[in-house]
Chains A and B, each alone.
Chain A
């Protein structure tokens, strides 16, 4: 049953990601990317990361994709030719890398396969601290992420807020009409 659900999500994810690359109209590409985001969120729910699924939908589908659609509609693109002249090289490279990665994955999976999740004992990190267990049912996913995010990873959290500030400033300055309006 779990395998069936996984194959549904994985199949739709692969199909829509191929559609994103292959469709001619950029709005259709953005919409198939939206469907992919929803199914990735569903995959996260099956992996019992429901907080991340919600964040994925809110941030990716609700903010990033809306930004894309705004820009696509603002620029009012005509339908142009789809593929580069280097299309055969790109496709060949893609097939080569895909074959290599699939071979690697099959070799690794036949060697040692963590088919079942490991035991729920607390894992210790390299510096001796013990990280909270993953997605134990007693404590929800949100609490677990919150405990680790605000204690051990507080500094990267603050740096992430700085990244957002820099992106905000950069986007405003890049998209402004003219920094110095001349009155002539």
Chain B
């Protein structure tokens, strides 16, 4: 049987990869993909705990996290399209209107 800590460590590695991806990439689409990485990491965590404590509630929460991820991707991509229409660029460094 695989110990639970292996799943937690795997989830942590994927989550931190997502965090570093959000921090260091300039392409907005890659930033959104890194956010999906983070969400997948938490889902792995939930399912592992749900399997080890024989409680199905963890998987129900993964359901809802999946739903929210899908909704967030739809709105995020719509925002990207609107941004691209106004500036013809998807480099985050160039969106500085709110900067003081």
Mark B1-41 against chain A: 1 for CB-CB distance below 8 A, else 0. Answer: 11111101110111011111101111101101110110010
Alpha-carbon gap, A10 to B24, bound state (A): 24
Size of the chain B interface, CB-CB below 8 angstroms: 68
B34:A21 contact, CB within 8 angstroms? yes
Chain A residues near B66 (CB-CB < 8 A): 55-56, 59-60
B70:A59 contact, CB within 8 angstroms? yes
Size of the chain A interface, CB-CB below 8 angstroms: 89
Alpha-carbon gap, A40 to B3, bound state (A): 17
CB distance from A92 to the nearest CB of B (A): 10
Chain B residues near A133 (CB-CB < 8 A): 54, 56
Contact of B71 among A21, A119, A141, A163 (CB under 8 A): A163
Tell me whether A116 and B14 are in contact in the complex, defined as CB-CB below 8 angstroms, given that A75-B90, A84-B25, A135-B56 are known contacts. Answer: no
Q: Does any Cβ of B come within 8 Å of A127's Cβ?
A: no
Chain B residues near A132 (CB-CB < 8 A): 56
The 6 residue pairs across chains A and B that have the minimum distance between CB atoms: A167-B71, A109-B5, A90-B23, A134-B54, A21-B21, A174-B78
